[in-house]
Amino acid sequence: EQLTSHFHREPLTVEVYCRDQDRSERKDELFGLVHLQLDSVLKVEKQRCSSNVNGILGWRQTWTQILPVIGANTE
């Protein structure tokens, strides 16, 4: 409960990068930022899964949502 409350107050910020495919010598450029509420992920039902590499069993929570990308500062 305390962890869920923290994730609701403090969203995860994800940096989204892009690269010009026609000019491979160019470095990745920051495209923008996405803010993700992790408490939404924690509410999703857990599914049992196993690793393809070593067969270890674990749990997975899958969550899908379209999120807006906030433009990067171009100063």
pLDDT of 72 reads 67
Buried b (16+ CB within 10 A) or exposed e, 42-64: eeeeeeeeeeeeeeeeeeeeeee
Instruction: Kindly list the domain boundaries of the chain, sorted by start residue.
Output: 2-71
Give the CA radius of gyration of the chain.
17
Q: What is the pTM of this model?
A: 0.54
pLDDT tens sequence across 4-63: 788 778 888 889 888 877 766 778 888 889 888 887 777 889 999 887 777 788 888 888
pLDDT of 2 reads 82
